[in-house]
């Protein structure tokens, strides 16, 4: 039974990674590892996702 639970959790984590649902958690891990010693605070969740949407879609200049 324990292995089924572990497989389900691992599968769910893979789905979250593929879909980008865990992007904010990955950002926080990266920020704490590489930028925490520079001072400041990481972006909050709402600001992070707004910045990501802008980064992804700001340069798109096509109809389809």
pTM, entire model: 0.76
Does the pLDDT at position 64 exceed 90?
Answer: no
Judge whether 15 and 7 are in contact, CB under 8 Å. no
Q: What's the Cα-to-Cα distance from 17 to each of 4, 37, 42, 49, 55, rounded to whole Å?
A: 20, 27, 20, 15, 19
Domain annotation covers residue 2: no
Region 19-46: mean pLDDT is: 95
Q: Chain-wide mean pLDDT for the chain?
A: 92
Domain annotation covers residue 3: no
Instruction: Give the CA-trace dihedral at 30, 6, 11, 51, to 10 degrees.
Output: -20
Domain annotation covers residue 17: no
Does the pLDDT at position 2 exceed 90?
Answer: no
| Domains in the chain, number | 1
- pLDDT of the residue at 35: 95
Domain annotation covers residue 16: no
């Amino acid at each position: 039974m324990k292995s089924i639970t572990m497989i389900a959790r691992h599968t769910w984590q893979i789905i979250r990674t593929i879909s980008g649902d865990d992007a904010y958690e990955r950002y926080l891990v990266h920020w704490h590892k590489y930028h925490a010693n520079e001072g400041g605070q990481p972006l909050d969740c709402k600001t992070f996702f707004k910045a990501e949407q802008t980064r992804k879609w700001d340069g798109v200049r096509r109809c389809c």
